[in-house]
Amino acid sequence: MASFVFAISNGPENSSRAVRAFFLAKVAANKGHQVTVFLLDDAVYWTNLGMAERVRIPTGDALIDQIRELQAKGVKILVCKPCAESRMISASDLPQGFEISTAATLIDLAAEGKLFSF
């Protein structure tokens, strides 16, 4: 199977793109591919699952459903360290399956797999 990285920078200002990215990550994971999600810029706000629970896009897809399914599958959801810090989000604020990471890790993952950017 293939290795996919979903780099998501869209937060609440463009929730449709964010939900679609999480949805596609879920589809890839369900097909047995190795999947990593990397949140950067305003997408780090999705570490607040209370905020994610309130997002449903016109297709009916709910953000929290996508996140929960990825968590259940053990998909790593990495969070850009400087992006999180500048938004007052620390490692202790992160839900299960989320972890702080760096741009160097994103580049390494992209070198090893296919990168989708949203």
pLDDT digits 0-9 by tens, 14-58: 999 999 999 999 999 999 999 999 999 999 999 999 999 999 999
Domain ranges, residue 85: 3-117
- How many structural domains are present in the chain? 1
pTM: 0.95
Residues in Cβ contact with 39 at an 8 Å cutoff, skipping those fewer than 6 apart? 8, 9, 46, 47, 77, 78, 79, 80, 83
The predicted structure's pLDDT at residue 29: 98
Share of the chain above pLDDT 70, in %: 100
Which residues lie closer than 8 Å to 75 by C-beta, 6 or more apart? 25, 29, 35, 36, 37, 97
Q: For all residues of the chain together, what is the average pLDDT?
A: 97
Could you tell me if 81 and 105 are in contact, meaning their C-beta atoms sit under 8 angstroms apart? no
**Predicted pLDDT at 92:** 96
pLDDT of residue 90: 96
| Domain harbouring 86, CATH code | 3.40.1260.10
